[in-house]
Structure formats: C-alpha cells, structure tokens
Amino acid sequence: MEEKNAAAGTHSHAGGCFFCTTAMPMLENLVSGATRDHFRSSRVEFLKGLRCLLDERIAHLAREESKGTHVTVE
C-alpha cells in the first residue's frame, strides 16, 4: 500500500520488497520536482486524449441511423 506524505513529498511503500524499499526511493530522489510535474502533466493529457476518444465514439453511437429508405410500390 502506498501513502503520500504531504509534508515531505515522498512515498511510503510496503516493506520487504526490494523495489519498494530500495529502488523506488532512489528513483524518487533522482528526479526533480519539475520533472515530476512534467510527467504528471503528460499523464493528465494522455487521459484527456482517452476521454476525447470515448466522447467521439459515444457521439457516433448515439446518432440516429436511418433505418432504410421509403419506396413507393406501384
């Protein structure tokens, strides 16, 4: 389980896992705040792109399609 420490801006990870106890803290210290902000912004933009795709697909499916043409029979 991951908890955000608001004051320090760091993450507390579950104990026992090499990645959680060693690798993640090292990686968090290697990137600056500006770098984290850029990656966060890119994630937000990616999600906005997905939302746009979904909105377009919903609009396409919501349109009424013609059920055929009216033909006069003699």
Tell me if 13 sits within 8 A of 24, measured CB to CB: yes
Q: Which residue has the higher pLDDT, 47 or 31?
A: 47
Taking the C-alpha atoms of residue 28 and residue 46, their distance in angstroms, rounded to an integer, is 22
Q: Distance between CA 51 and CA 30 in Å, rounded?
A: 32
What does the pLDDT average to over 7-25? 69
pTM of the model: 0.48
What local confidence, expressed as pLDDT, does residue 41 receive? 94
